[in-house]
């Protein structure tokens, strides 16, 4: 390794396929795959990449990422180590690493008698991914429960930002270009038994609306304000639409499913076809949920 990242050889691999790290199992290699063990390591990697003009992307659970076959000519950082999955409580504040699974954090909060997150129980992926995309349900968005967060800027500097500074909008945040490393939620004291029942109810309802994982499935579109993407897709007659080895699910209208041999091009073509079909039928412009690398 002649590049400046050679000092991180113990946590770095070169030309590693990103497909296994995404739910759709599609995509080419990243020039560098880095798995830091601590926040300090992540900070150092970002600092070196910044100095060397190496672009960096963060990959969480991979549930909403589509990687093109060309891959990514930069460094992909996985926050999968134990240094990024901690969960701790201080009164009604719950702090967790961005790499923690959202379902684990929700279950932990419920067990502690802290309410406010239980409606998010069946959302896949990590806390970092959920916060970045402002995931939510009919009950509200994850941003409503956020107190603050720790982020790493592009040059590796650590700073704390408040909920307002994170600039949340519908299914989006203003966190592009920074690494989210820790989130603190402000929750409400509640009866653990009541919370457990609420969590179970949300789990059952959500499971009826999404495929069982880990099938190679991904949510296709964001629900537009005032609409359900699944209903719009159904009304437009786009259920089961096929493009190569990718198809829209017939049982779960807003999910696409990839089979062996599926390509990113097929996914993008399918998304465009469904978008057009929905727009022609209802006049609503769907926004894709998948992040395209």
Per residue in 247-267, pLDDT (tens digit) is 999 988 899 999 999 999 999
Distance CA 74, CA 248 (A): 31
Q: What confidence score (pLDDT) does residue 172 get?
A: 81
Structure tokens at 150: 């720790």
Nearest to 82 by CA among 65, 61, 99, 58: 99
Which of 57, 68, 163, 171 does the annotation list as catalytic? 171
Lowest mean pLDDT among 26-40, 93-107, 120-134, 227-241: 120-134
pLDDT at 91 over 50: yes
Three-point CA angle 200, 256, 67, nearest 5°: 105
Provide the pLDDT for residue 84: 94
Q: What is the pLDDT of residue 61?
A: 84
Q: Which of 6-15, 31-40, 211-220 has the lowest mean pLDDT?
A: 211-220
Structure tokens at 269: 């073509």
- C-alpha–C-alpha distance, residues 192 and 151, integer Å: 31
Residues 275-285: tens digit of each pLDDT = 999 999 999 99
Cα separation, 55 vs 49, whole angstroms: 7
Domains of the chain plus CATH, in order, are: 12-82 (3.30.43.10), 85-207 (3.30.465.10), 212-283 (3.90.78.10)
Please give the pLDDT value at position 81: 84
* Partners of 257 in the β-ladder: 217, 247
User: Helices 192-209 and 102-111, interaxial angle, to 10°?
Assistant: 150
As a whole number, mean pLDDT of residues 107-136 equals 92
**Rounded distance between C-alpha atoms, residue 182 and residue 97, angstroms:** 4
Q: Quote the mean pLDDT of the chain.
A: 91
pLDDT given at position 211 = 64
**DSSP 3-state of 98:** coil
The verdict on whether 171 is a catalytic residue reads yes
Give the model confidence (pLDDT) of 168-195 as tens digits: 988 788 887 778 999 999 999 999 999 9
pLDDT digits 0-9 by tens, 138-147: 888 999 999 9
pLDDT reading at 118 higher than 50: yes
Helices (H), 61-191: 102-111, 127-132
Q: What value does the mean pLDDT take over residues 214-235?
A: 90
Question: Residue range 77-104: average pLDDT?
Answer: 94
> Given this model, what pLDDT does residue 138 score?
80
The CA-atom distances, in angstroms, between 181 and each of 80, 82, 113, 173, 194 are 11, 12, 25, 15, 31
């Amino acid at each position: 390794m002649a590049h400046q990242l050679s000092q991180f050889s113990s946590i770095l691999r070169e030309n590693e396929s990103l497909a296994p790290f995404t739910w759709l199992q599609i995509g080419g290699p990243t020039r560098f795959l880095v798995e830091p063990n601590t926040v300090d390591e992540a900070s150092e990697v970002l600092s070196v990449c910044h100095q060397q003009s190496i672009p960096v992307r963060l990959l969480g659970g991979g549930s909403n990422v589509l990687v093109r076959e060309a891959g990514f000519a930069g460094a992909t950082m996985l926050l999968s180590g134990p240094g990024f999955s901690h969960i701790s409580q201080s009164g009604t504040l719950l702090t967790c690493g961005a790499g923690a699974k959202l379902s684990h954090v929700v279950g932990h909060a419920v067990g502690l008698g802290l309410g406010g997150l239980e409606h998010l129980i069946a959302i896949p992926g990590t806390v970092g991914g959920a916060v970045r995309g402002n995931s939510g349900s009919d009950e509200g968005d994850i941003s409503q429960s956020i107190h603050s967060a720790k982020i790493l800027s592009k040059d590796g500097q650590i700073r704390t930002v408040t909920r307002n500074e994170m600039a949340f909008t519908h299914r989006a945040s203003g966190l592009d270009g920074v690494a989210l490393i820790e989130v603190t939620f402000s929750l409400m004291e509640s009866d653990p038994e009541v919370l457990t029942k609420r969590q179970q109810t949300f789990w059952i309802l959500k499971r009826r609306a999404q495929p069982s994982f880990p099938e190679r499935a991904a949510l296709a579109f964001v629900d537009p304000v005032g609409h359900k993407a699944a209903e719009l897709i159904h009304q437009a007659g786009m259920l089961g639409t096929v493009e190569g080895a990718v198809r829209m699910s017939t049982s779960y209208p807003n999910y696409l499913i990839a089979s062996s041999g599926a390509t990113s091009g097929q996914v993008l073509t399918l998304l465009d076809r469904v978008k057009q079909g929905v727009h022609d039928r209802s006049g609503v412009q769907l926004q894709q949920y998948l992040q395209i690398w």
